Each structure stands twice: as C-alpha cells, then as structure tokens.
Amino acid sequence: MSGSDALPQIDTSRPHPARVYDWWLGGKDNYPVDEELARRILALDSTAVRGARANRRFMHRAVRTVAEAGTRQFLDIGTGIPTEPNLHQVAQGVAPDARVVYADNDPIVLRHAEALLRGSGEGTTDYVHADVRDAETLLRRAAESLDLTRPVALSLVALTHYLGDEADGDDVHGLLRTYLAALAPGSHLILSQVTADLNPEAVAQAADAFKAGGTPFFPRSITEFQRFFEGLELLGPGVIPVTGWRPEAEDVAAQAEGVVPVYAGVARKP
C-alpha cells in the first residue's frame, strides 16, 4: 500500500461522498451526518438507492467484460468503501493473475484498504491514497504495480460528477485526456456518472443538497458525458442509462422500476 505514512483524520462533522454512497448501499461505514444527507437526497430523488445498486452492478459487468476481453491490469480511481464483490474480486474471478490498483482520496477508504487488498488471487492488489486531480502522482504510484506500457482498464465509476469543468477549476475532460494519454493502446475506459437529463428536478435538488453539505456536484448531459470518450472506440451498446449497459436479469428487473439518472459507457483506446 502506498500513500502518506500517518493516517489522515476522518472528519465526522460533514458528510463525505464515499460514506453517503455506503449508506445507500446498505453499508455500516458511515456516520450520522452521512446518513442524514443520504436520507435527505433519497427524499428528493427516490432513485438514489436503486441508482447506487445499479451503478455497482454496472462496475461488475464492465470489469468482467474487459477482463474476458483479455485485460489483466486495472486502475480504479474513486474506489469507495469496500462492498463485496469488489473490483479485484470480479477481475480476478475471470483472470486470477489480474493486477489491480485502487485509489481514493477519502481517509475512510484508506482505513478500509486492507479489506480491499485481502483475498487477492495470484494477481496483486494495491492501494494509493491520492486525489484523482493529481494525475502525475497517481500515475507514478500506479506504475509501481502496473506496467503502463501494456493495456490497463481505467475505471472512474461514479466519480466524475464530483469534478467540475475547466471554468470550475477542475477541467475534468482535460484530466481524463491526461490519464488516457498515459495508457497503452488496447486500454479501456470504464465510466459512469449522474445526469440531470433523465430526472432533472430531482437531480438538481440532490446536487444542491450535496453542495450544501460541502461536496461540489456536477451532473452532466449526454453530450458532456460522451465527450469523455472522444478518440476512443465505444463498446456496444455505447453510452446508455446504467441499467441498459449489457443488462443481466437483475438489471432487466431494475429497468421495470424506472430509469435511474446515471449514464454509463465503456470504450477502448485504439
């Protein structure tokens, strides 16, 4: 595991995205302040719990898809609090020698990193405590475990809606281009993020609630989401609401409960 030596403090005075999401997924690694915001957002957007579960299942399907296509290296940024099966379990379920590097900037995820590293197959699993916006550090640390001259699946699942555009000082599209430029041809991008296209009022209110809780939140339109994949080859069925991406039985059942405002897509770097 790499990162800072002293464990950073967990701030229980304000909600954190990883812990709010954990509450929606039925986890126990959250504090009253997180539960309060998770419940408030759920009251505004009744799809929050279904959306979190659907998003998690998308991660499973996408990782299996690229592992079955031959990918043996994964860089998962914005990993979140462990929720089984975790990405390395899915990847190593297909290919026991798959290598996985997890990264997140939340101290609570760092505390749980050991759980993420447990039970690896023949492959290795590592954890980096870093902010996605520090691409240079993150890529350097990832390169300690992964061979960046060979294909890597870069997954940013339910992360980019916490990052702003150029005008907000984050330039999330430029950031993704930086990561992709560092990856070899044959690498994949696995992406999902919240949109206001499908459920505009509820999502706008939920975004305001996140912001009021101290977390900037940026839903994106389909056009803005598609821009993340510029220069890449989208795998079928392309960019689509998350339950529609190569759905399995549970996703088909979830579709019947209504759309969740999350776009998903997977693409290959030519």
Closest residue to bound ligand SAM by CB: 80
Residue 62 Cβ, how far from ligand SAM at the closest point, in Å? 10
Q: Which residues would be at the binding site for ligand SAM (CB under 6 A)?
A: 17-18, 21, 55-56, 59, 77-80, 104-106, 109, 131-133, 157-159, 162
- H or E segment at 267? strand 262-268
Core vs surface per residue 69-101: b (16+ CB within 10 A) or e: eebbbbbbbbbbbbbeebbbbbbbebbeebbbb
What distance in Å separates the CA atoms of residue 44 and residue 247, rounded to the nearest whole number? 27
SS3 content of the chain, % helix, strand, coil (to 5): 40, 15, 45
Residue 84 Cβ, how far from ligand SAM at the closest point, in Å? 11
Strand 233-234 relative to strand 125-129, pairing: unpaired
Closest CB to ligand SAM among residues 21, 229 = 21
- Tokens matching residue 48: 């929050």
Closest CB to ligand SAM among residues 150, 205 = 205
Closest CB to ligand SAM among residues 157, 267 = 157
Closest CB to ligand SAM among residues 111, 133 = 133
Residue 270 Cβ, how far from ligand SAM at the closest point, in Å? 25
Closest CB to ligand SAM among residues 150, 215 = 215
Classify residue 186 as left (phi > 0), alpha (psi -120 to 50) or beta. Answer: left
Residue 104 Cβ, how far from ligand SAM at the closest point, in Å? 5
Residue 201 Cβ, how far from ligand SAM at the closest point, in Å? 21
